[in-house]
Structure 1
Amino acid sequence: MTSWLDRPLLGFDTETTGTDVTTDRIITVALVYSVAPGRDGETVATWLIDPGVAIPEAAQAVHGISDAHVRAHGLPPAEALDEVAALLARALEQDVPIVAYNGSFDLQILEADLARCGLPTLRERLGREIAPVIDPLVIDRGVDRFRKGKRKLVDLMAHYGVEQDGRLHTADVDVSSTLDVLRALAARHPEIAEMPLDELFRRQGEWHRDWAENFNRFLERQGRTPDAPLAWPL
């Protein structure tokens, strides 16, 4: 039986003005259409967007994109995001999975930015839930729940033996690295590659809920607000 891993995948990542999906804005988007492992099997498209608001210094320190650069070279948000959403919707309609690391964040901020621009959201374009989505972070938490240590993209790259060239936090590099991690993860846990896409999507929702419930209990024990959402990806 052919695995979903042997079919095309569409990697997706954003760089933003911050981490609040309701108020922050998208600055860059990368889509990487992958038909085979390795960079020769990838087609990359990127967008630089002028968000219309100042980019905080903390965000600039992460991705290195300045206000001056986006004002000189960035596209209007509505133009760029409409193109991105159309490509994502087309892929999902063809059952090509969106692959995104911590993809819930990217999808939520995309939906908020589309609505802010007066454009149909991705969910509205599809007329259904946003699926199939594959998130290596969610899968890793599910199949190796009790492993200690951090689980940022760079940490999973080290854990699964994926090399990187030091240019993470550039959206297209992050996407290619995410695709590499997904393939390495599936090689180590072959049951993932053997699952039908709809089952893998459902299982990710369950794994995320288990993680979020446990994390919220941890926050409560620390006297902090238990604010990890239980639903995934939106």
Structure 2
Amino acid sequence: MSWHLGRMCGFDLETTGIDVENDRIVTACVVQCGGNAPVQSATWLADPGIEIPEGASKVHGISTEQARAEGRPAVEVVERVTAALAQVARDGIPIVAMNATFDLTMLDREARRHGIEPLFGICEPLVIDPRVLDKKVDQWRRGGRTLTDLCKTYRVSLDGAHSADADAIAACRVAWRIAQQHPSIEVTPLEDLHEQQVEWAAEQAQSLADYFRRTPGKESWADGVRTDWPLIPAQRGEEA
């Protein structure tokens, strides 16, 4: 049976910003779906311990005041999210995350910040990244590649974009559609598909860096492009 017909685990974070080394988790969702079984969803609201910038609040709708009043301590949220993902990974269920490197690296750094064993120290999860898959199967399509864009392209409903639970399940649905429409993705075993995405993501990142280098005014942006997938390794001094 193809992997896309089995159980998948959507994972998504909403955060204080886009700096994986210094920003913090605000909301998280881990949702299991597919495989002819009921949807199981868990969501968390964290008090990140720092101010949530107005720009981030406008994206996900959570203010600093709300996070402080209603959120659980960040260490508790990070521990529970890490444990939930570790369990699905042990069960052989792939973790589906849009732009997986961001979410998994953010979780990794939060775990290290709070003295929690990081996910990739506990197990070796298999990851499906709809963004990487889409760029591989439809390289030359014009337009954006955000989750909202992909939902339109693959005719997936997205209610409540930029809420962690809506984004997590939408990512699973997009992954399902891509596999359904592209036999080369559908028939590849999960372990092989994970390894192929490592290569594809590196190629895609290198292509982006090359584009920046030859674009006037954007040359310096190339230095910030990372080829790591699905996790940016921690630097020395950050090791748990």
TM-score, normalised via structure 1 length: 0.93
The amino acid across from 1:9 in the alignment is M
Residue 82 (structure 2) aligned to one of 81, 85, 90: 85
Matches within 5 A, 1:109-124: 109-124=106-121
| SS in structure 1 at match of 2:78 | helix
Greater shift in the superposed pair: 140-149 or 10-19: 140-149
1:13–1:100 CA contact under 8 A, matched in 2: yes
Q: After the TM superposition, which segments of 4 or more aligned residues of structure 1 sit over 6 Å from their partners?
A: none
2:108–2:119 CA contact under 8 A, matched in 1: yes
Partners of 1:49 and 1:201 lie apart in 2 by 30
Partners of 2:64 and 2:228 lie apart in 1 by 34
In the alignment, which residue of structure 2 is the partner of 1:183? 176
2:101–2:228 CA contact under 8 A, matched in 1: no
Q: CA deviation at 1:36?
A: 4.0
Matches within 5 A, 1:9-48: 9-36=8-35, 41-48=38-45
Unaligned segments of structure 1, at least 5 residues: none
Q: CA deviation at 1:146?
A: 1.3
Q: Cα deviations across residues 162-200 of structure 1 (Å, max 9, x unaligned)?
A: 1233x1001001111111111111111122121001110
Q: Percent identity?
A: 40
Q: CA deviation at 1:55?
A: 0.2
Residue 148 (structure 1) aligned to one of 139, 142, 156: 142
TM-score, normalised via structure 2 length: 0.91
The amino acid across from 2:7 in the alignment is P
Matches within 5 A, 1:134-173: 134-165=128-159, 167-173=160-166
Give the length in aligned residue pairs: 227
2:156–2:174 CA contact under 8 A, matched in 1: yes
2:205–2:227 CA contact under 8 A, matched in 1: yes
Partners of 1:182 and 1:137 lie apart in 2 by 9
Partners of 2:52 and 2:84 lie apart in 1 by 26
Q: Cα deviations across residues 38-74 of structure 1 (Å, max 9, x unaligned)?
A: xx83111000000010000010010010111111110
Is 1:193 the counterpart of 2:186 in the alignment?
yes
Unaligned segments of structure 2, at least 5 residues: 232-240
Q: CA deviation at 1:81?
A: 1.1
Over the aligned positions, Cα root-mean-square deviation in angstroms equals 1.3
Partners of 2:25 and 2:45 lie apart in 1 by 9
